[in-house]
A and B are shown apart, each in its own frame.
Chain A
Amino acid sequence: MPQDITVADIDVLVVGGGLAGVYAAIKAIEAGAGNVVQVDKGQVGKSGCSCFAAGVMHTYFPQEDNLEDRVRRLVRAQGYLAQQDLMASQMEQSWPVTNEMADLGVDFVRTTDGALERRPGRGSYPIISFYGPQLMDAMGKAAARKGVKQVHRVMVTDLLTHDGQVTGAVGFHTRTGDFYVFQAKATVLATGSTWYKGRMPGHRDTTGDGYAAAYRAGAVLSGVENNDAPTNVMPIGRYDIGPGMNKFVGEGGFFINARGERFMERYNPAMKERAGLRFLVYALCMEARQGHTPLFMDMTHLSPEAVGRLKKVLPLAMKMFESVGLVVGDRFVEPVEWMPQAPVGRPGLVVNGDFESTMPGLYAGGEVCAPQAVVTGLSAAATSGAVAGTSAARRARAVKQLPPDSGQLAELKRHTLQPLERTDGIEPDQALLTLQETIVPYEVLLLRHGQRMTRALEQVEDLRDNQIPLLHAYDPHYLRMAHEARNLTLVAELHLRASLMRTESRVELREDYPDQDNENWLKWIKVRNEAGAMKMFTEDVPLERYPLKAERGRSLNHLWQMAEKQGIVTIGEGGVKWA
């Protein structure tokens, strides 16, 4: 019989067991928090994306890199929507954090003289490498050694609030069905991003749970309309392999289309496959739109030494290749089919420099933050998690625990366990498939048009109103799947609504609005739940306070310019026409 379990007197509650969560927990302890509890719906250190983070980290090397140039590239990639002060501090902090991780037991790949080995990846600066499961195993154990209490297999569904402050969280055990109440002076969300459970192993447990809980509690979210950079391109045509893009192109892999053309030579002669991720995603989409699929990455020319290096830092992906006969011994035997994975919408928490959200008592680290505050990847996960944990510990010292509201608690419990109580209804998988078929095709949220997004939004609303309320779970495992489907449906609605609102092509391409509009859209789109209504509003990016300025005016988006020059599209009244 499932029990009610209350965990009281928590100083800092950390939700999520990836690198941002582990870092937040460690730093909360180091900042003096006595009782730090870290909860994960899987196992701390084995769930989320950190464990599968493709073996690369974008660490800034103070002796070798130009800090200003690195920050400028990040800000430009975000179309000047970045919180520039946070970008700079994350980049700067990535160096000490990397060294700290090595001290805590992470085995980074090193040169023969013991220095961190830098190798080419995507982008202009070389990356450092490691084996994801080893990194997270070491970091999870380091947190436990420091006294963090880790609670595994408990999915947090909602946040507890008291007069607009966050006072903990509720959830359930995914094996026993026990209902959990966590009472905390400060709560850190570190629940990562979401990929709509798309075709990529290693990312199907990040289901926007933190976004959804924060939205329902009343926090302000932002940035969802810009697909996060890792709307990745993956070896996911027929097979179920990934991630590892950075390493594959770094070792010399290149794309070919169905005609055998190395199309990146046309799209980006300077960088080719090492172009920015968004550039690659759109290049693949444009090839698809012209009927040049299937697309492949050719690695058949890689040397046995290169394949050996890949096996060292990407053993999981390389075993996947071997399991379907694409790698035999130390060679790739044929090109691997590749496509963009699902769009990545991050309706992230709006945070300040302390990584405190708009709700007192609620902090955020890693990709659960708005994309303008935290770039994707492990170094930003670690640096932002560290600040969030420290800030949460500071609050825990200053406030008293507020008691839970018994009415709210009863309502959250009912809502959390409801799918278990239905004897019939809709299976989570059925709802998920409907959602994926609506949102994953590339012509919805990659190559965008208002009409197509409006149609998709109607389908998501139908799912929200007619399937999600009827979700049924056979057991606590399926209860998790039901909540994941519910949270993803909410994320999809936010994703589509905000994307429709942004009537320009800035970081994403719209066929009906091909210009980047720096007159009207140097703005953040924000959203808040106001008594059940999705209230969306905009706020000017405070560029006057930031060192890097965007030129005012309107101009055709640079990717559309490239496509026009190639003769792929023409631009006229009403937008883009495909040749």
Chain B
Amino acid sequence: MGVRHIDVGLCNGCGICVDCCPLDVLRMDGASRKAYIKYLRDCQGCFLCQDQCPEDAIHCVALYEKRIPGAW
């Protein structure tokens, strides 16, 4: 949910997104030193990674990936 894409061409491997993610969705790939989405289904769609990325490499969309029951 939320995070859709990390542009590896723009990612500079700083790790800010990996550190800031409240649900620990993102990880750094050891070989390429680029961030990737590891636990997509736990993303809470808070947009914090997109907001904090210094390279504008992350794209989020405010749509659900999985079913979350609502009030009605």
Contact = CB atoms under 8 A, between A and B. Distances in A.
A23 interface: no
Contacts of B45: 201, 240, 320
Contacts of A174: 24
A324 B61 contact: yes
A223 interface: no
Nearest to A281: B71
A288 B19 CA distance: 41
B68 A319 contact: no
Residue of B19, B22, B41, B69 with most partner-chain A CB within 10 A: B22
A316 B42 CA distance: 18
A330 interface: no
Residue of B21, B46, B51, B66 with most partner-chain A CB within 10 A: B46
Interface in A273-325: 284-285, 288, 293, 315-316, 319-321, 323-324
Nearest to A231: B71
A202 B44 contact: yes
B40 to A, nearest CB: 12
B71 A341 contact: yes
A315 to B, nearest CB: 7
Interface of B: 1-2, 19-24, 38-39, 41-42, 44-48, 50-52, 60-64, 66-72
A195 B65 CA distance: 19
19 contacts: A42-B22, A48-B22, A175-B24, A198-B68, A201-B47, A204-B22, A205-B22, A240-B45, A285-B71, A319-B50, A339-B70, A437-B69, A441-B69, A442-B72, A446-B71, A477-B24, A477-B38, A477-B39, A481-B42
B71 A324 contact: no
Residue of B44, B52, B60, B70 with most partner-chain A CB within 10 A: B70
A456 interface: no
Contacts of A477: 24, 38-39, 42
B47 A324 contact: no
A324 B63 contact: yes
Interface of A: 42-43, 46-48, 51-52, 133, 152-153, 174-175, 197-199, 201-205, 236-241, 284-285, 288, 293, 315-316, 319-321, 323-324, 339-342, 429, 433, 436-437, 440-442, 446, 477, 480-481
A316 B46 contact: yes
Contacts of B64: 199, 240
Nearest to B72: A288
A16 B68 CA distance: 25
Closest 3 pairs between A and B when the two form their complex, measured CB to CB: A320-B62, A204-B44, A442-B71
A201 B46 contact: yes
B51 to A, nearest CB: 6
Nearest to B60: A323
A175 B24 CA distance: 9
